[in-house]
């Protein structure tokens, strides 16, 4: 039987389980329409808020690259260098809710079978801020958004009651999710920050508040590197820098570790995996750990802004892999490697005779002369 790429996630039918993540690829209706034309099963809008947004002067994202024959890591463009990560300090959408509302309706009219998720963000310090979440949620769902993704994870917010500062507080996560649940008629996805000690606690808070799914990861808090010649950060404004977010290939293993913790703790819940996905082999990791959808940002940004080649490769890679393994739907392989992640003491050791204290074994080889 031919591989079936369609899937159901949080009660929504997806033509395929791949979404563009909330970020520059989804910052406008024209981009989102192009993304659906290219084949993405879903799109999460760039995060919509009620507060005015002014981004920093100059570039908001750059790409760190490595070289095959040297340890050099730099954002400087050079031939033969390979992508290591993206680094950004971009804020949420600088377009107001009024700008988004008619566009959400238009996108859904043009693409009724594709899934449009509205990413929203407000504060959490006052009742008024909680009402702002509700205003955003009701406005987006009234125009046809199929789901709401709560941005509890933006890593560059000074405000203590916003973004990843909510995502680090299990209680606040519950309160915000609960406030949105009171008005939501569509599923709520909570996008968590990876920057916490035990993400299982935060995921529990989101489910307690009524989330249907967890999305993870947002970018990892980080700094750009300092140029050894100029002694300036590779990205700065007037010499100054601030904590921003790392995405792309470098975060794939980091994000998987967080995801494995959550899918093991909540095997019956829904998860949307993000972080470092550029081809199906990457996405497969998230599916095998239990995710029902996968989202992409950095790789799409570098592929004609919305990833037409990325989505083509994801779809063909998924169909080929399913055929090879004899799987007919995503449910045939979702979560089948979740239980392989165990505590360290469960990993088999060599017996006493075979063990030489570790010093002569591979990995501790004497220095090359
Ligand atoms: C320039 C840029 C802007 C982003 N803006 C948002 C945003 O507005 N809301 C959000 O939830 N995530 C935002 N993200 C995070 C991405 O959605 C995604 O979680 C992250 O980049 C990791 O995925 P990747 O490794 O595929 O890039 C942004 C990422 C980048 C690079």
Domain ranges of the chain: 7-55+90-341
Q: Measured from the CB, is residue 283 less than 6 Å from ligand 1?
A: no
**Mutate which of 87, 218, 244, 286 to test ligand 1's pocket (most atoms within 8 Å of Cβ)?**
218
Cα dihedral 274, 7, 200, 154 in deg (nearest 10): 40
Query: Tens digit of pLDDT for each residue in 173-205?
Result: 999 999 999 999 999 999 999 999 999 999 999
Catalytic residue numbers?
154
Burial class (CB in 10 A: 0-12, 13-18, 19+), 39: middle
Going through 140-218 in order, the beta strands assigned E by DSSP cover 147-152, 188-192, 213-216
**Where are the alpha helices (H) located in 266-338, listed in sequence order?**
280-288, 298-301, 308-325
In the sheet that holds 220-222, the strands lie side by side as 70-74, 61-67, 82-88, 244-247, 220-222
Each residue of 254-285: pLDDT tens digit? 999 999 999 999 999 999 999 999 999 999 99
pLDDT per position as a tens digit, 126-168: 999 999 999 999 999 999 999 999 999 888 878 888 888 888 8
Instruction: Output the pLDDT for position 368.
Output: 58
Whole-number Cα distances in Å, 363 to 183, 196, 343, 348, 366:
56, 31, 22, 18, 9
From the list 103, 88, 61, 41, the residue with the least C-alpha distance to 272 is: 41
SS3 320: helix
Please tell me the distance between residue 41's alpha carbon and the centre of ligand 1 in angstroms: 18
Confidence band for 363, pLDDT divided at 50, 70 and 90: low
Q: SS3 for 339?
A: helix
Lowest mean pLDDT among 254-258, 327-331, 358-362: 358-362
Atom of ligand 1 nearest to the CA of 87: 31
The reported pLDDT for the residue numbered 366 is: 61
What was the pLDDT predicted at 168? Answer: 87
For 46-109, the DSSP string reads: SPB-SS---PPSS-SEEEEEEETTEEEEESS--TT-EEEEEEE---S-SS-HHHHHHHHHHHHH
Q: Which of 167, 169, 161, 136 is nearest to 245 (CA)?
A: 167
Tell whether the model's pLDDT for residue 369 goes beyond 90: no
Task: Report the SS3 class of residue 192.
Answer: strand
Spacing, Cα 57 to ligand 1 middle (Å): 19
According to CATH, the topology of domain 7-55+90-341 is: TIM Barrel (3.20.20)
CA distance 264 to 11: 21
pLDDT of residue 47 exceeding 90, the answer is yes
Q: What average pLDDT does this structure show over 44-66? A: 96
Question: Considering only CA atoms, which of 181, 98, 103 is closest in space to residue 144?
Answer: 103
Tell me the pairing of strands 293-296 and 270-274: parallel
Q: How far is the CA of 351 from the centre of ligand 1 (A)?
A: 46
Helix/strand/coil for 308? helix
pLDDT for the residue numbered 45 = 98
For residues 119 and 175, what is the distance between their CA atoms, to the nearest angstrom?
18
**Cβ of 151 below 6 Å from ligand 1:** yes
Return the ligand 1 atom nearest residue 252 CA.
25
Answer whether residue 38 shows pLDDT above 70: yes
């Amino acid at each position: 039987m031919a591989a079936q790429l369609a899937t159901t996630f949080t009660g929504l039918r997806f033509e395929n389980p791949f979404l563009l993540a909330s970020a520059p690829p989804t910052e406008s209706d024209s981009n989102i329409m192009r993304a659906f034309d290219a084949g993405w099963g879903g799109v999460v809008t760039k995060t919509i808020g009620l507060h005015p947004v002014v981004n920093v002067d100059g570039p908001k994202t750059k790409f760190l690259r490595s070289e095959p024959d040297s340890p050099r890591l730099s954002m400087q463009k050079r031939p033969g260098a390979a992508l290591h990560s993206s680094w950004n300090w971009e804020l949420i959408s600088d377009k107001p809710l009024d700008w988004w509302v008619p566009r959400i309706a238009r996108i859904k009219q043009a693409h009724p079978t594709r899934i449009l998720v509205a990413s929203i963000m407000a504060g959490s310090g006052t009742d008024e801020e909680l009402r702002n979440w509700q205003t955003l949620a009701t406005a987006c769902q009234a125009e046809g958004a199929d789901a709401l993704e709560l941005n509890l994870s933006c890593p560059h917010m000074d405000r203590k009651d916003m973004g990843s500062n909510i995502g680090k507080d299990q209680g606040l996560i519950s309160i915000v999710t609960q406030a949105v649940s009171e008005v939501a008629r569509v599923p709520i996805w909570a996008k968590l920050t990876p920057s916490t000690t035990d993400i299982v606690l935060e995921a529990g808070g989101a489910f307690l508040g009524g989330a249907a799914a967890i999305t993870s990861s947002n970018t990892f808090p980080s700094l750009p590197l300092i140029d050894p010649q100029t002694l300036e950060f590779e990205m700065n404004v007037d010499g100054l820098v601030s904590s921003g977010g790392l995405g792309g290939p470098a975060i794939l293993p980091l994000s998987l570790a967080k995801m494995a913790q959550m899918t093991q703790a909540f095997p019956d819940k829904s998860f949307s995996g993000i972080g470092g996905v550029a081809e199906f082999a990457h996405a497969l990791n998230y599916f095998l750990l239990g995710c029902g959808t996968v989202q992409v940002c950095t790789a799409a940004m570098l592929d004609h802004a919305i990833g037409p080649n990325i989505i083509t490769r994801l779809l063909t890679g998924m169909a080929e892999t399913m055929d090879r393994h004899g799987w007919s739907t995503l449910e045939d392989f979702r979560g089948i490697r979740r239980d392989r992640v165990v505590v360290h003491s469960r990993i088999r050791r060599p017996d006493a005779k075979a063990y030489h204290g570790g010093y002569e074994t591979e990995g501790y080889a004497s220095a090359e002369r």
